[in-house]
Every structure is written in C-alpha cells, then in structure tokens.
Structure 1
C-alpha cells in the first residue's frame, strides 16, 4: 500500500494501478453489489465481506447509473482548503493510472483499455478504447462546514473520495464493467466478475423495516424559537435569508440495507440524483435522493439551477394544481427563490464568458413541489469541476445570504453538526469534468441506525408553524425508502 500524507490531505493507493474495461449485459445495482461482494469474500478467504469495503452509487435521469465497489485508492482532506487538496491529490492519482497503463499495455484515453471477448471466449486486452462513460471516476463528497465531526459524523473527514476497485455503469443503451487495481490481477478480476454478473439473479423485493426508537434533535417548540431568532436578525437587516435544518435519529429492527433504500428512491424519484457514498471508514453510508444539482461540467459547458421555495402535493389533481399555483404566486417564496437565482448568477459571473438564466417553473416530486430555475454557463477558460464546486458551495438554497452571516447563524442556532448534509456529493474524472449535487433529502446509516436530515429556508414573512410542517415533508423520501 502506497501512501502520501500532508498536513491537511491524505491519499492511499495500491501500486501499480491498471485499468481494464469490458461491456456486459445490463443488470441491477443490487445484483452488481451481490456479485462483487461474493467475489471479494472468495478473494479474502473469509466467510464474510472484508471490513470497511466502500460502496458508492450515483444515478441521474439523464445519464443512467454508476455503482462502485471496493477501493483502489482513497483521497481525504480536512480544513477550509479541502477542495483544493482533493483536486491536487486526484491529479496525482489519475496521472499514475495513465503512467501505469502506458507501461503495461495499450490504454485508451485516461489510461483505460477495453477487454473484448474473442470468438473462443478468451479475452484480448490489446484492442479498442473504452467509451467515456466507462472511464475511471473518483466518487465522494465534502462536508458542509470544515471540522464538523460530531454525532454520526464522528471520525469522518471533511472530504473523502474513492477510486473504486470495480465500477459498473448502466445507461439506456449499454452497460460496462471497469476494474482498477494491481496490473497483475486486474484483468482476471474483471473477467471473473463479468462471469458472475452473467449468471446473477436479480434480488427480490426488499422487506419493510420497523422503527424501534426515534429521537428528534429539535422539538417543535425549539424550532419555533430558532425561526423567531432568525427572523429577528432578518428584520434587523443582518440577514436576508438563512436555511435552518434539523435531524431525526431512528433505530430500526434490522440493519439498514442501503441498496434496498436506493432501489426504492430510484423508483419513486426518477428525476432526482440518487446517491450513496462512504463518508469514512467502517460500514457507514451517506445516501439520499436530492432534486438539487450543484453543478455539472463537461469541457467549458456548465449546468446548474436554483431550487428554492416549496409546498406539498395535493391529494387530487385539482388540489395539486391549486398548491402549485399558490407556490408560484407566493411573495415569500418568490423572494426566497429570486435570492438564490441572483446569488448563483453572481457566483458564475467571475468564471463564465456567458450565463443564461432559464424560465422559472414548478417542479413536482413525489411529496413536494419546488420553484426551479435552470441556469447554464459557458466558461471563459478551462476549469476543474471542483473549482466550480468550491465557488458555488454553499448556495443560498442551503446556506443563506449574506453567506458569512448565514453560516454564523447556522452554527449558533442548529443543535447538531451538518456533516455532509446539504454539502456537495458526486464524481469527477481525469479530465476535470464531473457532476455534483447538493446532498439534501438524505441520511447517514450505520448498522441499524439512521440519522435523517431536513431543512427549510427562512426569509422575511416566514411562519414558524408552516416551516415546521414543510420540514416534516422533507423527511418523507428517506423514511419511505427505509420501508417505514
């Protein structure tokens, strides 16, 4: 195991690292994890899955699903420079991948070579380049604030990204399996997993869970006091907006099955970013289904958006449309949404040659409706997606305005550490392209315990009782996903 460690960042990688890719028949993410776990158990020679085996899932409506198992390398960072630290170490990791595969064979772009099957069933690693979707990516996320490590985040770094041992990509047109690791073994590992996937049975429907104990970090009375305090600062002119959050700790009757929860989330929220990442060592998973894109970047093209202002769904179509109309006409929600649009546009102006703000609309999800405005930009110069992540986080949709005053208010008022909640999660590749979402509608799970998070934007005119009701709606996606 090779390691490199500085004052604020660390990384670990097996050496040498090679990359091999093969096309496979499509299957479910749960089937992929089952096959990868079986292979890992056999390789380890134990009767159980090796400890601290990371798993990651990333699903978007426009580009399919990616599942990652194991770790060929990890990058971690702490402190306010966590974005730059991860970017720097990732550059070294990707460069090493290219170097290793250059020495060992015929790589494609980013050091990836494909492993097509010959007519006799054997593998031939000496031909074609793997497609872009199959190339290696780093998966992970950042904390909302630096040094927020209490509660379920104890021992979790401010940033953690994993270069997986195995990566499975599924789109509408194709499915690819990528293996990364020791150059002497990576090809045989890839072909073994390919064969396992070919015969894998899709897992049956998940079983429901039962909450044995639940505890809120914030009572309704305390919440009203918190909102009143925020409103007093808004009335005094110190704040324009602040997002206040709370958490719900639940103990279930059985260990949390994150793959099952993700399957439910993907079915119920097909237009959201469904994600799961390991925030630290051990069997912890941070997962959710967020409607909020922080940024996507490919080349110099950037996509983001403003998501702020919300209302519930109606029990009938007519009631639903009345609620949507009331949201669109709400002065309070218009004020909150406009603040977010303006702030994101301003943040992009310093990096972009042009910024295009689209038409506002009501975006309907299973349990809630949001005001949404798409925002696109064309960068003036080449950038890394992490530069945009750092520039945009936190958006006013999860922090507030002015940013520094809102951050101070959140730290003072909230009764828990946000950890990775409402922070950037996603992936990036060797080219510096990638996609990050804002990790709302989320939870962190360990064994049979899950801590759920939800929040709401407070602006002039906010009503504490209404804000409480709205926040409870935002727990619903993860509660449903847990089978509760």
Structure 2
C-alpha cells in the first residue's frame, strides 16, 4: 500500500478553445480517456496496483477504496473526474497472464463541457502540494513532446497468434456448437502484428483516432491504445449508463439500391437483418440482466439505433439505470464493471459456457483486449469502456492489434473474417498501414 495520497484540484482555463484535450495528447506515455474534446489526460505515476486471476477486480477495488478513503485532497472544483483519480485496464479473462492494473497519475488535466481542471497527486510525504506545484508539474511533463512518424516502406503487417485459416476454422467449430444447442452466441477474436521500421508514435496515433472517431472513446493506459465505440458502464452521481453494440456492417463494401442513401442502406441491411437483430438482442439482454440487481429503475431503447462510424455501422442501444436497491451501499463504477463484464457483446451467451469455449477454440490469450478500460474517482464515479478497436504496444516497433466478431448460427467464416478486417481498420489507418 502506498503512503497517503495527497493532492489538489484547481480550475484550469488553459485549454484551447478548439482542440480541447487533444493539445495534451503529446507524449507517448500519456494516459487518456477522450471523447470529442472532453475527457481526461494524465501524466506520470503517483502509485500503481496490479493483479491477475479471478479476484483481479475485487483486489483492485479494495486497493482503490483504501487509497481513496485515506487520501487528503484539496478539491476546488468538484464533480466526476476531479480529486483522486485512477486509470485502469483489466484482462478480459480470469485465466490471462496479463496483469490488470490501476494507475494514479501524478498530473491530470480534465475537461467536461466548458469546465476544465488540473489535478496534482503524490504519495511523497515531503512534496509540496499547491496550485503552483500543480502548474509546474504539468509544465514539466509537457516539455517532453513526442516526435511523430511517417509510414515507411519497411513497415509490415504479419500474422499473429491466430492465422486467417485458424480463425475460419474456429468460426466453423463455433457455429457447429451453436447449431447443436450448446449456446446461442459466441464471440471469437484474432490478432495481427504491426512490425514497424521506426518507433511507434503513440501520441500521434491517439490524436488520429480521437479526430476520426469522435463518437468513440479514445483510450491509452500503459501501452493499451485504441478508440472504442462501446461503453461498458459509466457512473455519474449514482446514475449508470451503458452503450451496447452488436451487429456490424462494413462501410467499405456498400451495395446500395438506386437512389438509396447511406443511412437508408444501413437501416435496411443492418437493422433489417434477422441475424444482426438476434445478435444484438442477446447482447442487450446480457447487460441488463447483470445490471438489474444494482438498480432501482432502468430504461433502454425499445429498438436499437444504427450508429455510424467511419469504418462500420453498428446496431446500438443505450441503457440508463438509477443505482441503489434495497437500501444497501451504491456500487462504484469499478464494482459495476466487474459485475457486468463480460457481456455477450464480447463473450457470448450463456457467458460461462461461451468463455470456456473461447479458451478452447480461439487459440490465444486476449490480454486486455475486450476487457474494461477507463477511469474511476474517489467518489465512485467513472467511465469504463470495452477495449475494442485497439492494440497493445509490445515494444517501440511492435504493435499487436485485436478484433473479434459475434458468431451466431447464421454466421459464415468468410463473412466473419472480413468483419475482423473492418474492425482492424481504425488502428491500421492510425499506424499508416493497410490490411
């Protein structure tokens, strides 16, 4: 356990009017959670916690509760994301060797609408904690602006742990198990590896993603980077929200009818597909069933809407729930992330059987892919997305990308393989590569 966490949060007006937090995504080691021009950007490390295995969430929650309860924070702003804050990333599976982690940044810049703030955090008992110290610490971190990079002829994309042939075989086997009635949905993923001729420019990748995918949540936690369209759980003053996605249509292969708009095409082909609707229904039922025990009221769309992204369309549903049931304590965002992970959108249904079948058929350790990624504060607020459309920076010149698809009885191996390439596209483009 670290020494007592101390800190200060002050109003921060030094945020550009147009670029917002993007102006702070300048270091390759930045911690971030950004959507449109709002969110959080963190620098340095005041403390860290890691855990593996089935108790990884509970251990992290216990550690954070102890740290946050004992923290001495002078908070001149208030509200979610101020005061004591930790960024986090959790392994998808309890069997993973990958260490789940919480990281308390030394310096944090936040923006929510027109409200900006600067937080300075330290476990050093001798450190000065003041507005001047916070400003000086931020200035020091911003001196180390990372260089960008251009695409190089020496950059190449190579197969990962799961080849295209292996993936098609896994999908075939999964469909057979679904057809036998063992489960209704299974999510299978694969990986590819980018081998770069020069060091990856992570900050540049994050800015590219944040600009192109403004309706997604761009994240960076300790080498895990990406831009996810799916919110696992958000808690803001005892109200929980989630965005569930299942059902995908690649925008690179459009076959519109004469006079048909893109929106009408997506509505007809995606929303009108019995297969896609079935996959989405399983995903939304999974999330609401897991969330229901913690809520006093819950609402969701009666029909999914079509979410338009630069690379794909998705069927999407938003869920809102009022927390608190039976007079017990209101769960924190991190506790709820544990409760609802994994949903059918990234695992399958029923969840326990799907998880076992993923380990049998997939042929790789997902690590943090499809696990919760985001942040939590000392009041229990937080935002936890699902680590999708992302990659893990394994070395300065090696980046591993992941993508997966929901498999139902009507799935075909070739179609699911093509869908993985559509989902690789955001990271490939941000890295300057072609699939």
Same fold (TM over 0.5): yes
1:330 to 267, 273, 288: 273
Which position in structure 2 is the counterpart of 1:365? 309
Q: Deviations over 1:317-354 (max 9, x none)?
A: 73563244111111111111111112222112222112
Cα distance in 2 for partners of 1:144, 1:18 equals 32
Q: Does 1:23 align with 2:12?
A: yes
Which position in structure 2 is the counterpart of 1:50? none
Which position in structure 2 is the counterpart of 1:166? 107
Which position in structure 1 is the counterpart of 2:336? 388
Q: How many aligned residue pairs are there?
A: 415
Which position in structure 1 is the counterpart of 2:164? 220
Q: Deviations over 1:241-266 (max 9, x none)?
A: 00000000111111111110000001
Q: Shift of the alpha carbon at 1:478?
A: 0.4
Secondary structure of 2:343 counterpart: coil
Which position in structure 2 is the counterpart of 1:410? 358
Q: Shift of the alpha carbon at 1:378?
A: 1.4
Q: Which runs of 5+ in 1 are unaligned?
A: 5-12, 38-52, 99-110, 115-128, 150-155, 279-284
Secondary structure of 2:261 counterpart: helix
Q: Does the 8 A contact of 1:420 with 1:439 survive in 2?
A: yes
Which position in structure 2 is the counterpart of 1:175? 116
Cα distance in 2 for partners of 1:407, 1:167 equals 36
Q: Shift of the alpha carbon at 1:195?
A: 5.6
Cα distance in 2 for partners of 1:250, 1:194 equals 32
Which position in structure 1 is the counterpart of 2:388? 440
Q: Does 1:71 align with 2:26?
A: no
Q: Does the 8 A contact of 1:54 with 1:71 survive in 2?
A: no
Question: What stretches of structure 1 move > 6 A for 4+ residues in a row?
Answer: 199-205
Greater Cα radius of gyration, structure 1 or 2:
1
Q: How does 1:309-320 map to 2 (within 5 A)?
A: 309-313=247-251, 318=261
1:397 to 345, 350, 363: 345
Q: Does the 8 A contact of 1:19 with 1:97 survive in 2?
A: no
Q: Does the 8 A contact of 2:89 with 2:221 survive in 1?
A: yes
Q: Deviations over 1:223-253 (max 9, x none)?
A: 2211111111111111110000000011111
1:58 to 24, 33, 40: 33
Q: Does 1:185 align with 2:128?
A: yes
Cα gap change, 1:15/1:433 in structure 2, threshold over 3 Å: closer, same or farther?
Answer: closer
Secondary structure of 1:134 counterpart: coil
Cα distance in 1 for partners of 2:343, 2:185 equals 11
Q: How does 1:259-270 map to 2 (within 5 A)?
A: 259-270=203-214
1 or 2 for the larger relative contact order (CA 8 Å, sep ≥6)? 2
Structure 1 range deviating more: 86-95 or 362-371: 86-95
Cα distance in 1 for partners of 2:46, 2:140 equals 20
Q: How does 1:101-250 map to 2 (within 5 A)?
A: 111-114=73-76, 129=77, 132-149=80-97, 156-157=98-99, 159-181=100-122, 182=124, 184-187=127-130, 188-193=132-137, 207-210=150-153, 211-250=155-194
